[in-house]
Amino acid sequence: MDLSVRIGSLTLTNPLVAASGCFGYGVEYADLVDLSSLGAIVTKGLFLEAREGHRAPRIVETPAGMLNAIGLQGIGARRFVEDKLPELRTRGATVIVNVCGTTIDEYAEVSRILSDAEGVAAIELNISCPNIKEGGIQFGCSLDGTFDVVSAVRKVTRLPIMPKLTPNVTDVASFARASEQAGADAVSLVNTFLAMVIDVETRRPKIANGLGGLSGPAIRPIAVRMVHECYEAVKIPVVGMGGIMNARDALEFMIAGAAAVQIGTANFVDPLIWTKLTDGIRDYMQRHQFTRVTELVGTVQTGPVESPTGA
């Protein structure tokens, strides 16, 4: 069975991608997971310089999910190229780097640095993190901001560009269209939903930042709907994510229109999920007589159900 998919000019051996923020820089999982067996990994978000992130507590479990406000802690683009990228190359990983910025110029400069580095396959533009006050989501919640960031990065790199879209807008498909018009090769969605958890005894938020990003199975039905809306709105590939915990969840996103899927929160529950996902997708393809996984993409039947003959 052919599990390969294309994201712009990039070919992935399978549609399973480790999501940014839930897989470290990839090297942290390298002794547990064969990185070369994944379609790709998306690194933690990288600014131009190192960033400490928010103070603890930064994560709290919620019903069917988790809330986090890490604050995009990271080592910076240059140190990533020097310290992490060589091992990722050795491990045979397909590396997509999640690029952050507080200004359009920073997005462009980080992307330029990564474009010059051997072993970076694509760039995911983080314009949707709800946990920082400057940059990021400020661009991702503005159609003009989204267009401007993608356009600026497009000018400095030939690598495939994939903006990561926020669900914290009223019409996510319009942001997919703005990304496509600006030269994006794909879009990924959804990032986390802005949320809050309160300790009723202390009457204080359970994370120090107050607000955080909600992920996990609780958001999956909304994410599937948004992926389908974007699939119908643009011609470029859509990469879906949001609460994928098993093969059926991944298949649901692909049937809705996702060319590939990213797995995030599930990594904290089961770091060995990848083989189970691959086996589950292969089993489904065999049962439904698909030979290529791309045949599944966008096959959701949304019309009225036909009544049986004679009913």
Q: Give the integer Cα–Cα distance in Å for 221 and 193.
A: 13
Q: Which amino acid is at 226?
A: M
Among residues 289, 301, 292, 298, the alpha carbon closest in space to that of 255 is found at 298
Identify whether the C-beta of residue 291 lies closer than 8 Å to the C-beta of residue 285: yes
Identify whether the C-beta of residue 214 lies closer than 8 Å to the C-beta of residue 195: yes
Is it true that the peptide bond before 190 is cis, omega within 30 degrees of 0?
A: yes
Partner residues linked to 197 by β-bridges: none
Partner residues linked to 5 by β-bridges: 12
Identify whether the C-beta of residue 99 lies closer than 8 Å to the C-beta of residue 107: yes
Identify whether the C-beta of residue 161 lies closer than 8 Å to the C-beta of residue 185: yes
Among residues 205, 305, 264, 252, the alpha carbon closest in space to that of 22 is found at 264
Radius of gyration of the chain, Cα coordinates, nearest whole angstrom: 19
Looking at the chain, list the stretches that DSSP marks H as alpha helix, in order from N- to C-terminal side.
77-79, 85-90, 104-115, 137-140, 143-154, 172-182, 220-233, 247-256, 266-269, 273-287
Partner residues linked to 46 by β-bridges: 99
Identify whether the C-beta of residue 236 lies closer than 8 Å to the C-beta of residue 184: yes
Active site residues: 129
3-class secondary-structure state, position 75: coil
Token pair, residue 180, equals 């496509």
Partner residues linked to 125 by β-bridges: 99, 163
